[in-house]
Amino acid sequence: MSHINLDDVQVPTNGNGKDNNSLRENLGTRRVPKLRMANFPNADEIVRQGLLETKRPETAVDILLVNPPTPDGGLWIRTQHRVGRRTRENMVWPQVSLAQMAALLYPDHKIAIIDANAERMGWPEFTKKLDQFKPKYYMTQVTAPTLENDIYGCFLAKARGAQTIAFGTHVTPIPRETMRPYPTLDYILMGEPDLTIRDLLDHLEGKIDQRSANIQKLFADHDPT
């Protein structure tokens, strides 16, 4: 811990060459030497490294695709034309986009899907699923009305060592504006995420050369870049 030696403090004299002892006893509002900034270790990096070094269970996956729990436990729509609203018909909308992405990633990447909306899954049970799957990557749908609720899932996943990915109608037009206030977000996919998530994971995992002929053709036909 830093400390100040009063003998090193420059104290004004009282005119006869002698210092003012009262100032030594109580500096009050007088200026004192600047203290050196404390140099604490980066706890975030230490904790993250510990998480990464922890042995992953057999149930662990490369990527977890999620439709996260809803804000109030009701049935919400995060896709289709009524995105970010509660369903009036009390109907569960199928997560076709998650299924399509899973089909593009399998079998080169180990996958799990959680549709917490359809399963009426709350955050406590969802957290247990995160511990079970221990994903390296966590990909979630995000909408404006459910934004903070959805980002909470990213917080839980990142606390367990996952890199977080978001997609949806809210983040596509304002990716930077979304990432600034939510540092738990690592990546945002703009537009249709199907080929983008495959390309991202292939690059991050070094699996570009392992693409099947079908996947290579999809990129050649639909992603000329």
CATH number of residue 202's parent domain: 3.40.50.280
Residue 221 CB partners (closer than 8 Å, separation 6+): none
Written as one letter, the residue type at 172 is T
Q: Is residue 94 part of a domain?
A: yes
pLDDT winner (highest mean) among 133-137, 139-143, 145-149:
133-137
Confidence of residue 146 (pLDDT cuts 50, 70, 90): confident
pLDDT above 80: residue 219: yes
Residue 64 CB partners (closer than 8 Å, separation 6+): 111, 112, 113, 114, 130, 133, 135, 137, 138, 139, 157, 162
Confidence of residue 225 (pLDDT cuts 50, 70, 90): low
Q: How many domains does the chain have?
A: 1
Q: What is the pLDDT of residue 145?
A: 86
Q: Is residue 24 part of a domain?
A: no
Q: What is the pLDDT of residue 187?
A: 98
Q: What's the predicted TM-score (pTM) here?
A: 0.75
Q: Is residue 200 part of a domain?
A: yes
Q: Is residue 26 part of a domain?
A: no
Confidence of residue 201 (pLDDT cuts 50, 70, 90): very high
Residue recorded with tokens 């990213």: 154
Written as one letter, the residue type at 118 is A
